[in-house]
């Protein structure tokens, strides 16, 4: 039979008091419970650990002294673990591991994280850009505390809050005729060379938009980063269809870009924050709340193009 932490605590308290009755009063339990704990431990190890004296109480044997020290150490470690666990749950300190499948996350994630900085000590951020499947798998496997991902293809086990539903828009060079229009239809893009963001979920989504509209533009280039798409568009190689805006209309190469609303009734992509909602650390819950606040009440509207 295993020895419980409770039995260890009863044993150590009895040795400290040198008296079963006084130990029972200290522990607020019956004296018989303390005596039974001592008997259980002695029976488990087949050792005499305590000498009982009718008038003088109890005292440990040589073996009992060894066990008392070991039990004390185990109980101290256990109590420290409980304290640290409580502190970890309530504190804004520690590591925060975030996986993100959001091409323009660098445009808003640093601002959201600034809401955590300096509140309750030091927080270390571990940020990993990944695809939508990796983000969700990493959250479920415990690699990430929270993820930013496209929840239109969410796994059933992933809990999340939708942050924003982003409509598709056309990205064009600032000197392109489309850039001077208030809006554009997909059919207007059918004759334009298309730069495709070739990322999981994104490429299939853009292909579906044109297929449902009955148009098949010629893809000039496929790029797996948003900035490469923006740079190719800025250099005049073609137009692109994207969903979220960064905080600048200048490409890496310094070319000016224009975001033009698409007026077709198209499905939107949902950017969400995924995290475990029950028994979560305060740091993770606070991060999720800041994400919600940023897109609901803060400047998150800057990252979508309204039609």
pLDDT band at 83 (very low <50, low <70, confident <90, very high): low
pLDDT band at 306 (very low <50, low <70, confident <90, very high): confident
Predicted confidence (pLDDT) per residue in 246-261, tens digit:
989 999 999 999 999 9
| CB atoms inside a 10 Å sphere around CB 240 | 26
187/262 Cα distance (integer angstroms)? 10
Domain boundaries, the chain: 5-90, 94-164+270-303, 168-261
Q: What is the CATH code of the structural domain delimited by 5-90?
A: 1.10.10.10
CB-based contact 258:172 (threshold 8 Å): yes
94-164+270-303: CATH, from 2.60.40.10, 3.90.1150.10, 3.40.50.800, 3.40.190.10 = 3.40.190.10
Torsion sign across C-alpha atoms 111, 115, 118, 122? negative
Higher pLDDT, 187 or 294: 294
12/64 Cα distance (integer angstroms)? 10
230/23 Cα distance (integer angstroms)? 74
Work out the average pLDDT over 119-137: 86
Higher pLDDT, 297 or 100: 100
Work out the average pLDDT over 263-278: 91
Domain pair 94-164+270-303 / 168-261, same fold: yes
Q: How far is CA 226 from CA 62, 153, 197, 230, 257, in A?
A: 72, 20, 6, 6, 13
Higher pLDDT, 230 or 89: 230
pLDDT of 214 above 60 = yes
pLDDT of 124 above 60 = yes
pLDDT of 307 above 70 = no
Higher pLDDT, 170 or 89: 170
Place of tokens 């870009």: 257
pLDDT band at 293 (very low <50, low <70, confident <90, very high): very high
196/150 Cα distance (integer angstroms)? 18
Residue 116 is predicted with a pLDDT of 79
Tokens of 100: 């993100």
Residue 240 is predicted with a pLDDT of 92
Place of tokens 């993820």: 147
Work out the average pLDDT over 161-181: 94
Could you tell me the fold of the domain covering 168-261? D-Maltodextrin-Binding Protein; domain 2 (3.40.190)
pLDDT of 189 above 90 = no
Tokens of 270: 């949902």
pLDDT of 119 above 70 = no
Question: What's the whole-number average pLDDT of the chain?
Answer: 88
pLDDT band at 90 (very low <50, low <70, confident <90, very high): low
DSSP result, the chain: -PPPHHHHHHHHHHHHHT-HHHHHHHHTS-HHHHHHHHHHHHHHHT---EEEETTTEEEE-HHHHHHHHHHHHHHHHHHHHHHHHHHHHH-S-EEEEEEE--TTGGGTHHHHHHTTTTSSS-EEEEEEE--HHHHHHHHHHTS-SEEEEEGGG--TT--EEEEEEEPPEEEEETTSGGGGSS-B-HHHHTTS-EEEE-STTHHHHHHHHHHHHT--PPEEEEESSHHHHHHHHHTTS-BEEES---S-SB-TTS-BEEEEEB-S--PPEEEEEE---SS--HHHHHHHHHHHHHHHTSGGGGGS---
Residue 103 is predicted with a pLDDT of 83
pLDDT of 102 above 70 = yes
pLDDT band at 87 (very low <50, low <70, confident <90, very high): low
């Amino acid at each position: 039979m295993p020895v419980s932490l409770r039995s260890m605590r009863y044993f150590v308290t009895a040795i400290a008091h040198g008296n079963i009755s006084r130990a029972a009063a200290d522990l607020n339990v019956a004296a018989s419970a303390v005596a039974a704990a001592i008997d259980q431990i002695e029976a488990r190890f087949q050792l005499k650990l305590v000498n009982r004296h009718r008038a003088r109480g109890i005292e440990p044997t040589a073996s009992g002294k060894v066990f008392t020290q070991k039990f004390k150490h185990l109980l101290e470690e256990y109590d420290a673990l409980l304290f640290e666990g409580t502190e970890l749950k309530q504190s804004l300190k520690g590591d925060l591991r975030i996986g993100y499948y959001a091409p323009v996350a660098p445009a808003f994630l640093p601002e959201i994280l600034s809401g955590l900085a300096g509140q309750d000590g030091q927080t270390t951020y571990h940020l990993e850009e990944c695809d939508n499947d990796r983000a969700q798998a990493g959250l479920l496997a415990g690699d990430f505390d929270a993820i930013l991902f496209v929840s239109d293809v969410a796994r059933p086990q992933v809990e999340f809050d939708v942050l924003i539903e982003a409509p598709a828009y056309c990205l064009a060079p600032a000197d392109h005729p489309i850039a001077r229009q208030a809006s554009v239809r997909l059919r207007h893009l059918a004759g334009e060379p298309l730069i495709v963001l070739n990322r999981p979920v994104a490429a299939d989504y853009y292909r579906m938009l044109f297929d449902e509209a009955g148009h098949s533009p010629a893809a000039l280039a496929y790029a797996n980063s948003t900035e490469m798409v923006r740079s190719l568009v800025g250099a005049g190689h073609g137009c692109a269809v994207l969903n979220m805006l960064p905080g600048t209309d200048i490409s890496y190469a310094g070319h000016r870009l224009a975001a033009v609303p698409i007026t077709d009734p198209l499905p939107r992509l949902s950017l969400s924050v995924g995290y475990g909602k029950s028994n979560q650390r305060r740091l993770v819950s606070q991060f999720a709340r800041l994400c919600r606040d940023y897109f609901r009440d803060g400047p998150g509207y800057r990252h979508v193009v309204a039609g």
